Amino acid sequence: MTDLSHIRNFSIVAHIDHGKSTLADRLIQSTGTVQDRDMKEQLLDAMDIERERGITIKANTVRIDYVADDGRKYVLNLIDTPGHVDFAYEVSRSMRAVEGSLLVVDSTQGVEAQTLANVYQAIDADHEIVPVLNKIDLPAADCERVAEQIEDVIGIDASGAIQVSAKTGIGIHETLEAIVKLLPPPQGERDAPLKAMLVDSWYDAYLGVIVLVRIIDGVLKKGDRIRMMHNDSIHHVDRIGVFRPPMQTVDELGPGEIGFLTASIKQVRDTRVGDTITHEKKGADKALPGFKPSQPVVFCGLFPVDNAEFEDLRDAIEKLALNDASFSFEMETSAALGFGFRCGFLGLLHLEVIRDRIEREYDIDLITTAPSVIYNVHMRDGEMIELHNPADMPDLTHVDHIEEPRIKATILVPDEFLGDVLKLCQDRRGIQMDLTYAGSRAMVVYDLPLNEVVFDFYDRLKSVTKGYASFDYQMIGYRQDHLVKMQILVNDEPVDALSTMVHRDRAETRGRAMVEKLKDLIPRHMFKIPIQAAIGGRIIARETLAALRKDVTAKCYGGDATRKKKLLEKQKAGKKKMRQFGKVDIPQEAFINALKMDG
Q: Is 22 annotated as a binding residue?
A: yes
Q: Is 570 annotated as a binding residue?
A: no
**∠80-81-86 over CA atoms, to 5°?**
160
Q: How far apart are CA 85 and CA 98, in angstroms?
A: 20
Structure letter (DSSP) for residue 382 = S
What is the DSSP code string of 306-364?
Answer: SGGGHHHHHHHHHHHHHH-TT-EEEEEEETTTEEEEEEEESSHHHHHHHHHHHHHHS--
Q: Is 137 annotated as a binding residue?
A: yes
Residue 437 CB partners (closer than 8 Å, separation 6+): 443
Q: How far apart are CA 175 and CA 190, in angstroms?
A: 30
Residue 209 CB partners (closer than 8 Å, separation 6+): 201, 202, 203, 262, 263, 265, 266, 267, 268, 270, 271, 322
Q: How far apart are CA 13 and CA 10, in angstroms?
A: 10
At 189 the three-state DSSP class reads: coil
Alpha-carbon distances of 143 from 129, 136, 577, rounded to whole Å: 18, 8, 75
**∠367-369-375 over CA atoms, to 5°?**
155
Q: How far apart are CA 364 and CA 482, in angstroms?
A: 39
Written as one letter, the residue type at 239 is R
Q: Is 152 annotated as a binding residue?
A: no
Q: Is 20 annotated as a binding residue?
A: yes
Q: Is 401 annotated as a binding residue?
A: no
Q: Is 135 annotated as a binding residue?
A: yes
Written as one letter, the residue type at 332 is E
At 406 the three-state DSSP class reads: strand
Burial of 197: CB neighbours in 10 Å, binned 0-12, 13-18, 19+:
buried
Q: How far apart are CA 279 and CA 219, in angstroms?
A: 10
What is the DSSP code string of 113-126?
Answer: HHHHHHHHHHHHTT
- What 548-556 contacts at long range (C-beta under 8 Å, 24+ apart), as own/partner pairs, is 548/524, 550/526
Return the sign of the alpha-carbon dihedral for residues 239, 243, 245, 249. Answer: negative
Residue 53 near residue 360 (C-beta atoms within 8 A): no
Written as one letter, the residue type at 199 is V
Where does residue 489 fall: left (phi above 0), alpha (psi -120 to 50 degrees), or beta otherwise? beta
Residue 303 near residue 344 (C-beta atoms within 8 A): no
Q: How far apart are CA 56 and CA 25, in angstroms?
A: 13
The CA radius of gyration of the chain, in Å to the nearest whole number, is: 29
Q: Is 173 annotated as a binding residue?
A: no
Residues contributing to the annotated binding site: 17-22, 134-137
Residues contributing to the annotated binding site for GTP: 17-22, 134-137
